[in-house]
C-alpha cells in the first residue's frame, strides 16, 4: 500500500510539473547529456529565455 | 472476468444514479447523485470504450517509436513521462469555456446539460481528442490543418485555417464580454482584475531578472499577490474616491480590454503573457481541486428543477429551444473543436509511448468534462429565481428589477428585490440584477459552496476570488489568442506581400495585431452597447463555430480511419460527426431563418428596423439600433459562412468515403513508417 501511495503522489507531482513546464530544463539537460556528450549545455537562464519565446509561437491554450 | 464484473457493477451504478435522478422528480436532488453518475460513466468510458478504441481501432502500439523519441531535440520533441504530458495537455485544453457554457445552459434545468456533458464527452469529445492525438503522433506531430490538407486535400486545409481564425475571433470577443459584464460598475471586481496586470508583470520580471527560470517560486509569489489583490479590492470598494475611479461603464471597460489585448500582443511574452499564464494555470488547478473537494464535503441539494419551462425556447438567458441549443451552448465540456488544435500541437511531440494516448487524449477531456459538471452544479444550487435574475438581461424581463422579479415569480421562480439586494450586499456588489455572461452567477455559486466549507463571513471574498479567477483565465485566453491570431494573419498576409509575413518586423506586428484586436473588439463593443446583453447573440455564434471546428476535425479523422484496414470502425468518429453536423446545422439554421426575432438574426434585424421606423423603440435602444441591425446582419452572414464551411468539409469527406467504400483507389495516408522503440519503457511491450 505505501508503494501505491508513493506512486500516486509521484504522479500528482508529475501532473503539476507538466502543467507548468517546470521539468523542461531538467529534461533538456538529460537530452543534452545523452545526445551531445562533451558539449556545454545552456545554463538555466538562457534555456528559459529561449524556451519561453518558442512556447508562445503556436496555439497552446484553449477556451 | 474481473474486468467484466467491474463493468457490470459500474453500469449498474450509473443506471442507479441516473435512475435516482430520474425518479426523484419533485424533490431536491443531491449533488452526490450527479457526481456518482459522472464517476460511473467516466470510468465505463475510460476502462472499456477508450481501451477498445486504443487496442482495436487505432491499434496503439507501445513498441513503436513516437516522434518524441525519433526526433528528440531536447526542445519541442522530448520523450516525457505520461503524467507530465497529462498535466501539460490538461492545462492547455482547460479554459473558461466549460465554466460559462453549462452556467448558461442551466436555464433548461440541470438535466439536459448534464446528460449532454456526460454522454457528449464520453462518446464525442474524448474520442475526438484521443483520435486526433493518435493521428498526429503517427504523423510526426503534424497539426490539424496539415492533416486536413494531406488527407482531404486543399479544401479541407483552407477550411481548417479559416475555421481556426474565425473561432479565435468570436471566442475572444465573447470571453472579453464576460469579463466586462463582471466588472461593469463593480469597483471591487474592476480593481482586482486590473491589479492582475502589474502582478503578472512583476512575476515576469522576477522570473526573467531576479531568479531566472524559477517558475514555481515566481508563481507562488504571484498567487499570494493575487489573493492580496482580492482583499485589497474590498478595501478600495470602501474608499469613496478610489471607488469612483474603478466604477466604470461597460463601454469604457471594453476599450480598456481592447487596449490591453493590443499591448499584450505586441509586448515581449516574458513580461506579461508567460507569467500571466503561469498564474492562471496555478489558479486553474488549485480552484478546480478546491471546488471539487468542497462540493464533495458540502454535497448540497440542487434547487434548479431537472427541466424548466424554458425548454420551449422562451428562456430569458438566451433564446432558443432545448433542441438544438443545449448542444451548441455547451461545447467545451462535451465536445470542443478547439481541442483538436491542442491535441495536434505540442502534446503529440511529448508522448513517450503510444500506450499513453488513452490517458492523455481521453483522460484529460474526461477531467475537463468534470469541470463542466461542477459549473452546472454551481449554477443549479442557486435558487432558480436568483439564477434567472442574475443571468437575464433587464430588457428580456421587463426592463427594471421590480419588473424582473414580478415576471420571474409569475413564471414560477419566486425571487424578491430584497432577496437580490441582500445577496448583492453579502457578496460586496451594488447589484446582481442582469449580470449576464455567467461569471457572476458562477461566482455566487462557487462562493456559496466555498463559504459553506470555510465560513459564511467570507462570502464577499470568495465571490471576488471567483471573479478574479475567471478573469485571469479569460485574459490569458485573450492575449494568447490575440497573439496566435496575429501569427496566423501574418502567415496569410505574407502570401500577399512578403514583409507582412515576417513575425519580427515591427510595422507588420503592429498592423496585424491591430487588425486582430479590431476584429474581436468590434463584436465586444456591439455586445456591450446591446441592451439585450450581447451574450445571447455571441455565445451561440461561438458554439456554432466551435462545433464547426470539431466537425472539421472529426471529418479528417473519419477519412484517416476509412483509409485503415477496417473502414467500418470509422463509425467511432463518423457517428459523433453526424450528430454534430445535425445539431450545428439545426442551430445555425434557426439563428439564420427563425421567424422569432429573439432567435433568428435576420428576423431580429428586420424587427428592429420595423420598430425603429415605427418609432416604438425606447430612446436608449433607438440610439444604437442602426449598429445593432448591421451587427445582426453580420452575425447572419457569419452563421451562414460557418454552415457553408461545415458542409463543404463534410461533403469533401463523404465523396472520399464513397470512393473508399466502393473500393476505388484513394490517396494513401502519409503515416510515418514503423520503427521499433529503443526506450526502456517499450521493452516490456
- Extract the residue ranges of chain B whose pLDDT is less than 50: 685
Does the residue A10 lie in any domain? yes
Confidence at residue B498, expressed as pLDDT on a 0 to 100 scale: 87
A31 at the B interface (CB within 8 A)?
A: yes
A56 at the B interface (CB within 8 A)?
A: yes
Residue A38 distance to chain B (closest CA, Å): 16
Q: What distance separates the 2 farthest-apart alpha carbons in chain B?
A: 78
Instruction: Identify the closest residue of chain A to B89 by CA–CA distance.
Output: A19
Q: Which of A19, A44, A55 sits opposite B213 (nearest CB)?
A: A44
Three-class SS state of B59: coil
Residue B245 distance to chain A (closest CA, Å): 31
C-alpha cell at B405: 422579479
β-partners of residue B351 are B80
Contacts of A9 (CB under 8 A, 6+ apart): none
Record: contact B546-A63, CB cut-off 8 A? yes
| pLDDT digit string, tens, across residues A27-51 | 888 888 888 888 888 888 888 888 7
A40 at the B interface (CB within 8 A)?
A: no
Contacts of B351 (CB under 8 A, 6+ apart): B66, B67, B68, B79, B80, B82, B85, B133, B137, B357, B360
The packing angle between helices B82-93 and B273-298, to 10°, is 100
Residue B477 distance to chain A (closest CA, Å): 7
Task: Cite the beta strand spans of B22-142 per DSSP E.
Answer: 29-30
DSSP at B411:
T
Confidence at residue B343, expressed as pLDDT on a 0 to 100 scale: 95
Instruction: Identify the closest residue of chain B to A15 by CA–CA distance.
Output: B87
Record: contact A60-B282, CB cut-off 8 A? no
Q: Are strands B301-302 and B29-30 parallel, antiparallel or unpaired?
A: antiparallel
Distance between the two ends of chain A, CA-based, in angstroms?
39
β-partners of residue B302 are B29
β-partners of residue B30 are B301
Report the alpha-carbon distance of residue B365 to residue B550 in Å, rounded.
Answer: 14
B146 at the A interface (CB within 8 A)?
A: no
Cβ(B75)–Cβ(A54) below 8 Å: yes
Listed residue (B345, B222, B206) closest to B280, CA to CA: B222
Residue A55 distance to chain B (closest CA, Å): 9
Does the residue A60 lie in any domain? no
Residue B384 distance to chain A (closest CA, Å): 27
Three-class SS state of B268: coil
Record: contact B346-A60, CB cut-off 8 A? yes
Confidence at residue B620, expressed as pLDDT on a 0 to 100 scale: 82
The packing angle between helices B619-662 and B506-529, to 10°, is 120
Q: Which domains does chain B have, with CATH numbers?
A: 2-185+248-662 (1.20.1740.10)
Residue B627 distance to chain A (closest CA, Å): 28
B339 at the A interface (CB within 8 A)?
A: yes
Record: contact A23-B281, CB cut-off 8 A? no
Report the alpha-carbon distance of residue B175 to residue B575 in Å, rounded.
Answer: 30
Give contacts of A 4-23 with B, CB under 8 A: 10-12, 14-23
Cβ(B348)–Cβ(B60) below 8 Å: no
Report the alpha-carbon distance of residue A15 to residue B311 in Å, rounded.
Answer: 40
Residue A30 distance to chain B (closest CA, Å): 8
Does the residue A41 lie in any domain? yes
Q: Which of B74, B83, B480 sits opposite A61 (nearest CB)?
A: B480
In angstroms and rounded to an integer, the radius of gyration of the C-alpha atoms of chain B is: 25
CA distances from B572 to B450, B488, B558, B579 (A): 40, 31, 8, 12
C-alpha cell at B80: 516525457
Listed residue (B336, B300, B431, B311) closest to B101, CA to CA: B336
Record: contact A45-B212, CB cut-off 8 A? yes
A27 at the B interface (CB within 8 A)?
A: yes
Does the residue A62 lie in any domain? no
Which of A13, A17, A18, A54 would best serve as a mutation to test chain B binding (most B beta carbons within 10 A)?
A: A18
Residue B564 backbone phi and psi in degrees, to 5? -75, -175
Does the residue A63 lie in any domain? no
Q: Which of A32, A49, A59 sits opposite B484 (nearest CB)?
A: A59
Contacts of B270 (CB under 8 A, 6+ apart): A49, A52, A53, B204, B207, B208
How many residues in total does chain A contain?
Answer: 63
Q: How many CB atoms lie within 10 A of CB B664?
A: 9
Residue A3: CA count within 13 A, CB half-sphere: 0
Q: What distance separates the 2 farthest-apart alpha carbons in chain A?
A: 44
What H or E segment, with its residue span, contains residue B505? none
In angstroms and rounded to an integer, the radius of gyration of the C-alpha atoms of chain A is: 15
Cβ(B376)–Cβ(B102) below 8 Å: yes
Confidence at residue B683, expressed as pLDDT on a 0 to 100 scale: 56
Report the alpha-carbon distance of residue B229 to residue B465 in Å, rounded.
Answer: 9
A53 at the B interface (CB within 8 A)?
A: yes
Record: contact A49-B96, CB cut-off 8 A? no
- Domain limits for position A46: 2-55
Distance between the two ends of chain B, CA-based, in angstroms?
23
How buried is B418 (Cβ within 10 angstroms: 0-12 exposed, 13-18 middle, 19+ buried)? exposed
Record: contact B269-A25, CB cut-off 8 A? no
Which of B70, B73, B79, B88 would best serve as a mutation to test chain A binding (most A beta carbons within 10 A)?
A: B88
How many residues in total does chain B contain?
Answer: 685
Record: contact A63-B338, CB cut-off 8 A? yes
DSSP at B676:
B
C-alpha cell at B27: 424533490
A25 chain-B contacts, CB cut-off 8 A: 213
Confidence at residue B442, expressed as pLDDT on a 0 to 100 scale: 94
C-alpha cell at B99: 465554466
Contacts of B320 (CB under 8 A, 6+ apart): B313, B540, B587, B590, B599
- How many domains, in total, are found in chain A? 1
Instruction: Identify the closest residue of chain B to A8 by CA–CA distance.
Output: B83
Confidence at residue B685, expressed as pLDDT on a 0 to 100 scale: 45
Cβ(B505)–Cβ(B217) below 8 Å: no
Confidence at residue B684, expressed as pLDDT on a 0 to 100 scale: 52
Amino acid at each position: 500500500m505505501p508503494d501505491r501511495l508513493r506512486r500516486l503522489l509521484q504522479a500528482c507531482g508529475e501532473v503539476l510539473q507538466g502543467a507548468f513546464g517546470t521539468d523542461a530544463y531538467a529534461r533538456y539537460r538529460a537530452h543534452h547529456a545523452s545526445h551531445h556528450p562533451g558539449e556545454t549545455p545552456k545554463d538555466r537562464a538562457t534555456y528559459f529565455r529561449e524556451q519561453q519565446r518558442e512556447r508562445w509561437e503556436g496555439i497552446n491554450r484553449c477556451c | 472476468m474481473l474486468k467484466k464484473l467491474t463493468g457490470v457493477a459500474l453500469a449498474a451504478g450509473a443506471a442507479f444514479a441516473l435512475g435516482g435522478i430520474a425518479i426523484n422528480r419533485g424533490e431536491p436532488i443531491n449533488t452526490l447523485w450527479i457526481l456518482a453518475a459522472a464517476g460511473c460513466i467516466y470510468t465505463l468510458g475510460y476502462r472499456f470504450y477508450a481501451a477498445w478504441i486504443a487496442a482495436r481501432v487505432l491499434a496503439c502500439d507501445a513498441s513503436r517509436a513516437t516522434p518524441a523519441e525519433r526526433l528528440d531535440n531536447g526542445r519541442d520533441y522530448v520523450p516525457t513521462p505520461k503524467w507530465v504530458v497529462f498535466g501539460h495537455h490538461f492545462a492547455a485544453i482547460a479554459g473558461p469555456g466549460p465554466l460559462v457554457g453549462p452556467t448558461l445552459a442551466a436555464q433548461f434545468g440541470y438535466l439536459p446539460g448534464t446528460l449532454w456533458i456526460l454522454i457528449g464527452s464520453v462518446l464525442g469529445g474524448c474520442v475526438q481528442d484521443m483520435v486526433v492525438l493518435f493521428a498526429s503522433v503517427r504523423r510526426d506531430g503534424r497539426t490539424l490543418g496539415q492533416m486536413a490538407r494531406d488527407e482531404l486535400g486543399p479544401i479541407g486545409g483552407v477550411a481548417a485555417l479559416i475555421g481556426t481564425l474565425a473561432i479565435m475571433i468570436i471566442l475572444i470577443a465573447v470571453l472579453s464580454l464576460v469579463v466586462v459584464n463582471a466588472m461593469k460598475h463593480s469597483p471591487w471586481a474592476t480593481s482586482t482584475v486590473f491589479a492582475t496586470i502589474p502582478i503578472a508583470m512583476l512575476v515576469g520580471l522576477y522570473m526573467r531578472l531576479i531568479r531566472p527560470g524559477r517558475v514555481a517560486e515566481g508563481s507562488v509569489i504571484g498567487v499570494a499577490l493575487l489573493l492580496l489583490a482580492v482583499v485589497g479590492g474590498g478595501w478600495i470598494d470602501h474608499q469613496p474616491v478610489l471607488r469612483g475611479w474603478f466604477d466604470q461603464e461597460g463601454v469604457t471597460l471594453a476599450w480598456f480590454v481592447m487596449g490591453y489585448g493590443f499591448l499584450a500582443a505586441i509586448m515581449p511574452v516574458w513580461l506579461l503573457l508567460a507569467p500571466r499564464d503561469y498564474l492562471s494555470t496555478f489558479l486553474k488547478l488549485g480552484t478546480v481541486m478546491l471546488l471539487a473537494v468542497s462540493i464533495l464535503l458540502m454535497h448540497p441539494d440542487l434547487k434548479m428543477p431537472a427541466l424548466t419551462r424554458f425548454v420551449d425556447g422562451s428562456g430569458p438567458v438566451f433564446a432558443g429551444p432545448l433542441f438544438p441549443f443545449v448542444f451548441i451552448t455547451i461545447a467545451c465540456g462535451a465536445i470542443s473543436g478547439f481541442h483538436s488544435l491542442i491535441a495536434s500541437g505540442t502534446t503529440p511531440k511529448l508522448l513517450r509511448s503510444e500506450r499513453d494516448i488513452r490517458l492523455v487524449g481521453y483522460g484529460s477531456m474526461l477531467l475537463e468534462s468534470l469541470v463542466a459538471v461542477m459549473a452546472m452544479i454551481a449554477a443549479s444550487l442557486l435558487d432558480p429565481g436568483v439564477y434567472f435574475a442574475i443571468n437575464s438581461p433587464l430588457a428580456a424581463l421587463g426592463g427594471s428589477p421590480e419588473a424582473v422579479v414580478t415576471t420571474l415569480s409569475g413564471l414560477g421562480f419566486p425571487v424578491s428585490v430584497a432577496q437580490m439586494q441582500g445577496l448583492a450586499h453579502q457578496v460586496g456588489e451594488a447589484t446582481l440584477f442582469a449580470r449576464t455572461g455567467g461569471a457572476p452567477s458562477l461566482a455566487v455559486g462557487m462562493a456559496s459552496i466555498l463559504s459553506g466549507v470555510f465560513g459564511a463571513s467570507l462570502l464577499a471574498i470568495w465571490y471576488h476570488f471567483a471573479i478574479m479567477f475567471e478573469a485571469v483565465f479569460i485574459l490569458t485566453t485573450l492575449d494568447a489568442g490575440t497573439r496566435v491570431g496575429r501569427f496566423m494573419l501574418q502567415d496569410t498576409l505574407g502570401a500577399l506581400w512578403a514583409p507582412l509575413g515576417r513575425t519580427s518586423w515591427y510595422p507588420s506586428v503592429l498592423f496585424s495585431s491591430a487588425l486582430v484586436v479590431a476584429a474581436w473588439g468590434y463584436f465586444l463593443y456591439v455586445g456591450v452597447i446591446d441592451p439585450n446583453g450581447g451574450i445571447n447573440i455571441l455565445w451561440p455564434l461561438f458554439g456554432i463555430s466551435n462545433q464547426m471546428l470539431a466537425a472539421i476535425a472529426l471529418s479528417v479523422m473519419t477519412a484517416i480511419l476509412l483509409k485503415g484496414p477496417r473502414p467500418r470502425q470509422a463509425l467511432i468518429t463518423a457517428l459523433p460527426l453526424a450528430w454534430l453536423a445535425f445539431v450545428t446545422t439545426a442551430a445555425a439554421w434557426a439563428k439564420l431563418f427563425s421567424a422569432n426575432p429573439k432567435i433568428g438574426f435576420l428576423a431580429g434585424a428586420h424587427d428592429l428596423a420595423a420598430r425603429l421606423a415605427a418609432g416604438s423603440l425606447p430612446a436608449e435602444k433607438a440610439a444604437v439600433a442602426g449598429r445593432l441591425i448591421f451587427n445582426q446582419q453580420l452575425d447572419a452572414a457569419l452563421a451562414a459562412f460557418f454552415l457553408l464551411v461545415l458542409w463543404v468539409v463534410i461533403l469533401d469527406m463523404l465523396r472520399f468515403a464513397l470512393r473508399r467504400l466502393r473500393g476505388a483507389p484513394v490517396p494513401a495516408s502519409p503515416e510515418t513508417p514503423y520503427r521499433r522503440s529503443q526506450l526502456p519503457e517499450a521493452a516490456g511491450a
